[in-house]
A and B are shown apart, each in its own frame.
Chain A
Amino acid sequence: MSIDLQTVKKIASLSRISVSDAEAQAMVPELNNILGWVEQLGEVDVTGVQPMTAVIPNHQRLREDAVTDGDVRDKVLANAPQAEHGFFAVPKVIE
């Protein structure tokens, strides 16, 4: 698998990361190197091996249905660049 300049720009745009042309150019070989390195795993024969979902055998724990959290509006809004009347205030987004 290899990626080109266009793919790098698309990923950057999907991730909302601003990347200059020069940076994008530089990332093409970098990302390809990483992908190539990971692709070595494809050489291992995993026939009949179940995908590993956790390092130690473990089961997903479930929570009881009880209200134990919330009501911390000040904390939730503390880092907001702008908050008004208890809401986050963001640049207008409307379609």
Chain B
Amino acid sequence: MTQTAYRIQGATGEWEVVIGLEVHAQVTSKAKLFSGAATAFGAEPNTQVSLVDAAMPGMLPVPNRECIRQAVRTGMAINAQINKWSRFDRKNYFYADLPQGYQISQLYHPIVGEGEIEINLDEKNPDAQTKVIGVERIHVEQDAGKLMHDQHPTRSYVDLNRSGVALMEIVSRPDMRSPAEAGAYLSKLRTILRYVGSCDGNMDQGSMRADVNVSVRKPGGELGTRTETKNVNSVRFVMQAIEYEASRQVDVLEAGGKIVQETRLFDPDKGETRSMRSKEDAHDYRYFPDPDLLPLELDDAFLEECRQSLPELPDAKRKRYEKDLGLSAYNAAVLTAEADTARWFEALLAEGARVQKKSEGEVAKASANWLLSELYGALNRLGRTLEDSPVTPEDGAELLALVADGTISGTIAKQVFEIMLESGGKPAQIVEEKGLRQTSDTGAIEAAVAKVLAGNADKVEQYRGGKEALFGFFVGQTMKAMQGKANPQVVNELLKKALA
């Protein structure tokens, strides 16, 4: 990596920032971690709560196999050690959103140990600036309920729908040194989770949130005291929180003060962090093994199924797009950044290869270019995404095949595409109905050429006098006369002949 180090300029010189992230990712599952209540987002309050989630006396937790499986698959996707023996512990604290009075978590024996994530700091050239960020552990735990403070003057309302939903806590090493690295790490982690299918990564619905640990030090010096900014829910906010918090710490230290190890909140409106002023003993969690649950023991067959079910991961896919499909580094990076985009592209590719009877490599470049410029442009304009695209991969492949076999020109393809977007029609049918088929009828084209040359005698003179750039003008005029339907190659040939 050759990137210039990120430094904060203080009055006493330069400061280095040290960052670690604890990411809470909601595990994709139908039912909760220890109960059979549903997990769907947006339900009526307290309708997705079992008596286990409400912590009624005598209720016993039973782990959900799928939640365990997804945590293991996530660990495998970051090359982490998988612990075949792990255990659940109780983390004891009182809060209105926690009916049990403790959260079932894994402190001493997490299910996933050391792993790593490679981050790419230059989107346009992903292999130019990479850095490996260590992941210390992933453990499985319960989410708490939700509190609403603005519905009543003196009461807080509690909704336990989220209570007991499975979370993975993914704890990084303090390996990041700039807001950009933390942003790249969070984005990459989100991409991996979405590929694996273990978390939907919807940060605006709270499916992923980050606790941001920040400290500052003189470059290469001793680690400073850190603060932890809780529950930051977007990549941009994580970067903002780090910037603010790091310069706040530098100001405190340079004024002769000390950093207090504390929990802070990020205020997205002001772009600031502020102390939560919690009681000193709030973090005395008195962890102990949960006597309601036996240790979790995973056998080889379970692990093997987890491994077999992993999809091709983003880095491998990106490299394959570059190497086997011949795509540019940038296109490969953009197409693989989201699992949904890669899935759409691969459907387009498979269908294109099928209808054109070519290899995927032969249709890859045109497919990638069309998807990233034409389709993305149109979707942006319409405020839609690939998921609700009015055009299917099959339609796209059909359109590209019509260009590839010379039925229509690239210019006409744009027109056909517009009609497809509006009417949802099939490209071949649109071409027939609107009579857009490209013509190689030399008679008609010759007539158009003759007319254009006759109408622009002055320019013909200039061209013959050496102003060769005018050739493009004649092509344009001829195409216009042919309503864009002339085969451009034939137009070129006939024009050259006529102007010779």
- List the interface of chain A (C-beta within 8 A of B): 10, 13-14, 16, 53-54, 58-73, 75-77, 82, 84-95
Whether A91 pairs with B294 at a CB distance below 8 angstroms is no
Whether B157 pairs with A85 at a CB distance below 8 angstroms is yes
Whether B155 pairs with A70 at a CB distance below 8 angstroms is no
Which residue of chain A has the shortest Cβ distance to B279 in the bound complex? A13
A81 to chain B, nearest CB (A): 11
For residue A90, which residues in chain B have a CB less than 8 angstroms away from its CB? 96, 155-158
Known: A62-B68, A66-B30. A14 touches B286 (CB 8 A): yes
Interface locus among B3-11, B35-43, B207-215, B254-262: B35-43
A69 and B293 CA atoms in complex are apart in Å by 20
Which residue of chain B has the shortest Cβ distance to A13 in the bound complex? B281
Known: A63-B62, A70-B37, A73-B46. A92 touches B31 (CB 8 A): no
Whether A92 pairs with B156 at a CB distance below 8 angstroms is yes
- Residues 66-91 of chain B: 1 if any A CB is under 8 Å from the residue's CB, otherwise 0? 11100000000000000000000000
Which residue of chain A has the shortest Cβ distance to B88 in the bound complex? A60
Whether A63 pairs with B51 at a CB distance below 8 angstroms is no
Known: A84-B157, A90-B158. A53 touches B294 (CB 8 A): yes
A72 and B281 CA atoms in complex are apart in Å by 36
| B37 partner, pick from A62, A69, A88, A93, beta carbons under 8 A | A69
- Residues 276-300 of chain B: 1 if any A CB is under 8 Å from the residue's CB, otherwise 0? 1110010010100000011111000
Is B446 positioned at the interface, with any CB of A under 8 Å from its CB?
A: no
For residue A13, which residues in chain B have a CB less than 8 angstroms away from its CB? 281
Whether A86 pairs with B30 at a CB distance below 8 angstroms is no
Whether B62 pairs with A73 at a CB distance below 8 angstroms is no
A87 and B156 CA atoms in complex are apart in Å by 9
For residue A95, which residues in chain B have a CB less than 8 angstroms away from its CB? 265, 276-278
Whether B295 pairs with A65 at a CB distance below 8 angstroms is no
A6 to chain B, nearest CB (A): 12
B307 to chain A, nearest CB (A): 18
A60 and B111 CA atoms in complex are apart in Å by 14
A65 and B30 CA atoms in complex are apart in Å by 6
A38 and B156 CA atoms in complex are apart in Å by 42
Main secondary structure of the interface of B (DSSP, over half): loop
Whether B147 pairs with A93 at a CB distance below 8 angstroms is yes
Chain B interface bracket (under 10, 10 to 19, 20 to 34, 35 or more): 35 or more
A67 and B67 CA atoms in complex are apart in Å by 13
| A65 partner, pick from B66, B92, B278, beta carbons under 8 A | B66
A44 and B95 CA atoms in complex are apart in Å by 40
- Residues 25-69 of chain B: 1 if any A CB is under 8 Å from the residue's CB, otherwise 0? 000011100011110000011111111111000000011111110
| B63 partner, pick from A63, A75, A88, beta carbons under 8 A | A63
For residue A82, which residues in chain B have a CB less than 8 angstroms away from its CB? 155
Known: A66-B36, A69-B35, A91-B154. A60 touches B294 (CB 8 A): yes
For residue A61, which residues in chain B have a CB less than 8 angstroms away from its CB? 62
Whether A86 pairs with B46 at a CB distance below 8 angstroms is yes
B272 to chain A, nearest CB (A): 15
For residue B357, which residues in chain A have a CB less than 8 angstroms away from its CB? none
Which residue of chain B has the shortest Cβ distance to A67 in the bound complex? B38
Whether A76 pairs with B149 at a CB distance below 8 angstroms is no
Known: A14-B286, A85-B157. A60 touches B296 (CB 8 A): yes
Is B159 positioned at the interface, with any CB of A under 8 Å from its CB?
A: yes
A51 to chain B, nearest CB (A): 9
Please list 29 pairs of residues, one from A and one from B, whose beta carbons are closer than 8 Å in the complex, sorted by A's number.
Answer: A14-B286, A60-B295, A62-B63, A63-B31, A63-B64, A64-B65, A64-B66, A65-B66, A67-B30, A67-B31, A67-B36, A67-B38, A68-B36, A70-B38, A70-B50, A70-B53, A72-B51, A73-B44, A73-B46, A76-B51, A85-B151, A87-B46, A87-B148, A88-B157, A88-B158, A89-B152, A90-B96, A90-B156, A91-B156
Whether B281 pairs with A65 at a CB distance below 8 angstroms is no
Q: Residue among A67, A73, A86, A92 with the most chain B CB within 10 A?
A: A67
Is B244 positioned at the interface, with any CB of A under 8 Å from its CB?
A: no
| B31 partner, pick from A53, A58, A66, A87, beta carbons under 8 A | A66
